[in-house]
A and B are shown apart, each in its own frame.
Chain A
């Protein structure tokens, strides 16, 4: 995906063809759903990723960041090991922040759904 394709106005698309990202004896199909600004950053609203069962959320998000570029990465991560406060990642409907954060293992059977969404800044002032 080139940078220009992620700019505004590009029609959202769905990647329905599984994208093999790793090989392993037990592979997991991860359905990734993008919401909010991540649809624009990724240029699509969902895709399928396959990766070894037990891979961490960090590995998945890094893979996506490699694919979609620095802007996507900067939106998701503060540092390599710290998730941005403005991203809400749901793993099978559960907030990754209340699981094990980036170290949450993806091991649903047979599929796992990961939603990468927007968590607005806490509307505080002061």
Chain B
């Protein structure tokens, strides 16, 4: 551990350093108070991950703190009827009364069947203590709210596959050519939002060329050198077309990388499975000097080619991929994506040449491959019926030019760090080496089995979660043969109804749960379904340990070599409003009240990976503050406990080394560009679901990536002729920022928020003028009205709807009724799911018409 003095902020009686919580990026901030009132939020220039910069949301945090509609005291429902428009008949009760009732219910459920409890939260900092609670209770049912519906499903399993970490980011520090497929790197969004924005701005000044392939001229595209409009849901076809041009037409691919760091050389039988060594069962490769040998028995495997082993024809995995790519000619890609064939060829060539295959760079004294070209993606690619195959396709585009986990390319978030690095696992395939990485990696394959969880994760063996299935698991519990029905939901600072999909389905699911506990600082479309509401604190009122933990998922990792592994706490800056309490601290207390303290401490020690001597004594008794202190000391030593964090607010463990930032050359785990494990997964899922009598599509378990159309892909003349696409706003986070006066003012002044973008030519053809009120009707039968904003910055087949707007409940007066609620247009149903990743397809076709007769 480093003990290097670190620069302080403006600490003093009226400046306190803490970690922001206006999104999950947990930037380091210092907050000014006057007479006990928080008045200003600033960064600290020397301290990451945001280096003095604070976004609009961060600056506006005090406005959420002083929201006049905050909940002051525990509330109990008196009206048993539930609905968004139904008055719950709230009655204030005491904390003791509330906690007694909750404790009694939890005890009964745990005695009966602990799986009947569901917990929901997307507070990323909470994951370890929350895991301790749910583990001790004994429930596997957790949901992160909207996340996992149409967000990381096409990213996280892919990131594990190619790097061993949950997330990815382009190494803009050393990159010269960045393609963003619908992603938002560098516009105060995505992971390490501020850090990436700073780095990308510097890179653009240096000369990095940025190309955005996106249905709309997004905030990212507006800053790019080139915007290429694409039909929604077809990014994978573009990626595969580029690979085809690179590999089959131009011969630009990193042979050394593909040979040494992927399973491309593995020999594959006609059955699709590896040729295996009869003695060791290891996959075999073709030695250039003759004959099939185990993959680790030669330094000279052939990357491509067709051979014969024991009289049977075999090919290498790369050979099969190469052949498959010939289906994606530029002309065919044009048919699918609408991108001109010449553009496909040009972008592929530019990308391939920018990768500088064969070049090297020295960083921190380490000579490393230098591949300054990267392609990034996120929800835009993943939120589709075949989102996982889409993400893999773009990942393999990076792999083709050797640009993963090397300077200038696409990097792991935190697969390598002070804790270790990726490893060679089963069959030589890359496996996770970060002990703090607790998502379920897709390899080695988990054995599918009859579901025990409401999200049916047991039937999604190559995904990291199956969050979007949870509510369908509740609604169709008997069909999916989940052996119990939920009894209670604890939802912590989430708005499941507005942020997920199809509010009517969500409402129906919530009504099926007999008791709902909401912990929230103000009401939203979900708290109105609660039986008890406990008032939560704002982040400026709470003590939260490891609010920024870069070793774990979704936290701001050091983006490149030389940036610090920076941990942060949240600490109270002002006194809590009313009787509000931090929800996680309340759960910690409930764990003690219901008698699972010992189990909770054991699970806490296991999930935090504290050395046994530094963990919690399972026979001890720890208050929230004491636990925070133990955790910090256990991680950083006795000098860096809670007192240290109260004084400093953050702690930098060490600088990220070149080996940690660019681990590819330092481990032997291979990237499976030939997905042999998918074949086995598909067979096993088919077997289990057939035994259960379930109709289950396993056709996506293919060993070679491919583009597959969403159900909404144009297939003839339909009256629903446009795609509705949803896009990110830089100054909102889910729904909780919508009530913020400053952010609302930004939204009103922006001109692209509370309306619906329509391609100007398309609008003209439909007789729609700028400012018209329009009706939007989805092919699923839902309707909405909005105000038309005509623009040339949209693909002609699309309309654009931003953020999570169109709020419904009366206790959100600033947000209510403004803009369009995109999630109401999409359908939340089993047939809209990606059967690999459980992503919900956000592709929706609509038709629009003017309502006010302004059309010319």
Residues on A close to B: CB < 8 A? 7-8, 35-37, 70-71, 74, 78-79, 82, 84-86, 88, 90, 93-95, 97-98, 115, 117-126
Contact = CB atoms under 8 A, between A and B. Distances in A.
B612 A8 contact: no
B439 A124 contact: yes
Given A97-B435, A120-B131, A126-B156, 11 more contacts: A85-B438, A118-B140, A119-B131, A120-B134, A121-B457, A124-B553, A125-B124, A126-B144, A126-B148, A126-B151, A126-B167
B134 A36 contact: no
B606 A125 contact: no
A121 B611 contact: no
Contacts of B664: none
Contacts of B167: 126
Contact of A74 (B142, B147, B447, B465): B447
A118 B133 CA distance: 11
A68 to B, nearest CB: 14
A34 to B, nearest CB: 11
24 contacts: A8-B113, A78-B445, A95-B605, A98-B606, A115-B602, A118-B138, A119-B606, A120-B140, A120-B603, A121-B440, A122-B553, A123-B126, A123-B130, A124-B127, A124-B144, A124-B553, A125-B124, A125-B152, A126-B144, A126-B148, A126-B152, A126-B156, A126-B166, A126-B554
How many interface residues does chain B have, given as a range?
Answer: 35 or more
Contact of A78 (B156, B446, B457, B599): B446
A59 to B, nearest CB: 21
Contacts of B439: 122, 124
B433 interface: no
A89 to B, nearest CB: 9
Contact of B554 (A88, A98, A115, A124): A124
Contacts of B135: 36, 88, 117-120
Contacts of A37: 115, 138, 140, 452
B127 A122 contact: yes
Contact of A121 (B128, B140, B156, B612): B140
Contacts of A79: 426, 444
A83 B440 CA distance: 12
Contacts of A8: 113, 483-484
Pick the 9 closest A-B CB pairs, nearest first: A125-B144, A125-B147, A122-B438, A36-B138, A126-B152, A120-B134, A123-B142, A120-B135, A74-B447
Nearest to B464: A124
Nearest to A124: B553
B260 interface: no
B607 interface: yes
B467 interface: yes
B196 to A, nearest CB: 16
Contacts of A117: 135, 599, 602-603
A123 B140 contact: no
B152 A122 contact: no
B592 interface: no
A99 to B, nearest CB: 8
Contacts of A71: 449-450
Contacts of B483: 7-8
Interface in B451-492: 452, 457, 465, 467, 483-484
A113 to B, nearest CB: 12
Given A37-B115, A88-B602, A124 B138 contact: no
Nearest to B114: A36
A36 B114 CA distance: 8
Interface string B108-119: 000001110001
A45 B155 CA distance: 40
B618 interface: yes
B465 A121 contact: yes
Contacts of A119: 131, 135, 603, 606-607
Interface in B136-158: 138-140, 142-148, 151-152, 155-156
B121 interface: yes
B95 interface: no
B122 interface: yes
B121 A123 contact: yes
Contacts of A122: 127-128, 131, 438-439, 553, 607
A93 B435 CA distance: 20
A33 B440 CA distance: 25
Contacts of B612: 94-95, 98
Contacts of B484: 8
B430 to A, nearest CB: 14
Contacts of B602: 88, 90, 93, 95, 115, 117
A97 B438 contact: no
B655 interface: no
B609 interface: yes
Given A37-B140, A71-B449, A97 B606 contact: yes
A7 B483 CA distance: 9
User: Which among A70, A79, A122 has the greatest number of chain B C-beta atoms within 10 A?
Assistant: A122
Contacts of B121: 123
Contacts of B148: 125-126
A36 B135 CA distance: 8
Interface string B765-808: 00000000000000000000000000000000000000000000
B134 A123 contact: yes
Contacts of A121: 131, 140, 142, 438, 440, 457, 465
A82 to B, nearest CB: 7
A78 B443 CA distance: 10
Contacts of B139: 120
Contacts of A84: 446
A119 B607 CA distance: 8
Interface string B706-718: 0000000000000
A36 B139 CA distance: 8
Nearest to B110: A36
A88 B609 contact: no
Interface string B577-621: 000000000000000000000010011011101011000001000
B127 A123 contact: yes
A58 to B, nearest CB: 16
B142 A88 contact: no
Which among A7, A115, A120, A121 has the highest number of chain B CB atoms within 10 Å?
A120
Nearest to A77: B447
Nearest to B435: A97
A117 B598 CA distance: 12
B606 A88 contact: yes
A123 to B, nearest CB: 4
A86 B447 CA distance: 13
A52 B140 CA distance: 34
Contacts of B151: 125-126
A98 B609 contact: yes
Nearest to A82: B444
A85 B440 contact: yes
Contacts of A95: 602, 605-606, 612
Contacts of A94: 612
Given A93-B618, A126-B151, A126-B152, A98 B127 contact: no
Contacts of B607: 119, 122
B729 to A, nearest CB: 18
A121 B131 CA distance: 7
Which among B127, B166, B605, B618 has the greatest number of chain A C-beta atoms within 10 A?
Answer: B605
A117 B440 CA distance: 18
A52 B155 CA distance: 46
A22 B273 CA distance: 39
Contacts of B146: 125
In the complex, which of the residues A7, A94, A124 has the most CB atoms of chain B within 10 Å of its own CB atom?
A124
A78 to B, nearest CB: 6
B155 to A, nearest CB: 8
A74 B140 contact: no
Contact of A126 (B438, B457, B553, B618): B553
A124 B467 CA distance: 10
Contacts of A97: 435, 606, 609
